[in-house]
């Protein structure tokens, strides 16, 4: 099947891995990256970015951060700026992950400011949205997603500088996965809402990833949905074999 949008298979390693684990994992992913149709991305913790970037240099694996500030420098103890990520070899950054929204109180407005700064630094922003279980049960999924998109995505978003990750909060790290139909419904909504709000030319090509317990056993059916353009993968990205098996599923659909 010919797809207009190239699959992006992105690993969110979260706060996992010491130096040796990270480098070994990166090398194992890189060893399986040659000749792939899908694009591969790993997002290690900030402490591992430089070593991972060195380990995958010259391969088809891209590297991203898991968060970055809306300023490039200054008195922000503990934070990392987009130009710092760029300087280490990153081309992507994950922004507004539900864990950042929940544990660090990140608002849509802050995520948008971070995305603008990431764009200015030349990074592709992977902007995360997703409803809680309570919101889904109350039938609020689509309005919640529209509000998050409107609040978090800058006006200058294009397919070149922005990826959206739909990550239902109830499916992250729980082993529960959205059904392919549930995922497609929300992805279709994000596409339609984005095209109406930001202009069709800008949004037709924006990649929308699914995230939430994606693994080798469910990747093919999720990725075969027309508006699912890849995966943001947590747990299963910590094992090269599983991560590459998900990439295999994507390749088979391209």
Catalytic residue of the set 39, 99, 131, 167:
167
Residue 198 or 243: the one with the smaller Cβ distance to ligand PEP is: 243
Please report, as residue ranges, which positions from 161 to 190 form the binding site for ligand PEP (by CB under 6 A). Answer: 167, 172-173
Point out which span in 53-61, 76-84, 131-139, 234-242 binds ligand PEP (CB under 6 A): 234-242
Contact 34, 59 (CB under 8 A): yes
Q: Can 97 be counted among the known catalytic residues?
A: yes
119 catalytic, yes or no?
no
9, 90, 111, 233: which one binds ligand PEP (CB under 6 A): 233
Can residue 214 be called a binding residue for ligand PEP (CB under 6 A)? yes
42 binds ligand PEP (CB under 6 A): no
Query: Contact with ligand PEP (CB under 6 A): which of 81, 141, 146, 213?
Result: 213
Residue 232 binds ligand PEP (CB under 6 A): yes
125 binds ligand PEP (CB under 6 A): no
* Number of residues located near ligand PEP, criterion CB under 6 A: 13
Which residues are CB-neighbours of 196 under 8 A, at least 6 positions away?
none
Q: Minimum distance from CB of 211 to ligand PEP (Å)?
A: 3
Residues found near ligand PEP in the complex (CB under 6 A): 12, 167, 172-173, 211-214, 232-236
Q: Catalytic amino acids?
A: 97, 167
């Amino acid at each position: 099947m010919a797809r207009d949008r190239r699959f992006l298979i992105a690993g969110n390693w979260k706060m996992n891995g010491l130096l040796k684990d990270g480098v070994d994992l990166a090398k194992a992913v890189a060893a399986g990256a040659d000749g792939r149709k899908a694009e591969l991305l790993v997002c290690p913790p900030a402490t591992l970015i430089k070593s991972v970037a060195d380990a995958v240099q010259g391969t088809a694996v891209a590297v991203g951060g898991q968060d970055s500030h809306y300023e490039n420098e200054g008195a922000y103890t503990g934070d990392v700026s987009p130009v710092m990520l760029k300087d280490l070899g990153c081309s992507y950054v994950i922004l507004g992950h539900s864990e950042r929204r929940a544990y660090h109180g990140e608002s849509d407005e802050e995520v948008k400011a971070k995305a603008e700064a990431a764009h200015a630094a030349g990074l592709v922003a992977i902007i995360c949205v997703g409803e809680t279980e309570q919101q889904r049960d109350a039938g609020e999924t689509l309005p919640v997603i529209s509000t998050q998109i409107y609040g978090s995505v800058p006006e200058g978003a294009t397919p070149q500088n922005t990826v959206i990750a739909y990550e239902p909060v109830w499916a992250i790290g729980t082993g529960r996965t959205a059904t392919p139909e549930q995922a497609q419904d929300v992805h279709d909504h994000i596409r339609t809402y984005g095209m109406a709000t930001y202009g069709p030319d800008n949004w037709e090509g924006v990649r929308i990833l699914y995230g939430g317990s994606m693994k080798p056993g469910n990747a093919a059916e999720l990725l075969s949905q027309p508006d699912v353009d890849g995966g943001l993968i947590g747990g299963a990205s910590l094992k090269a074999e599983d991560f590459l098996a998900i990439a295999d599923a994507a390749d088979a659909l391209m």
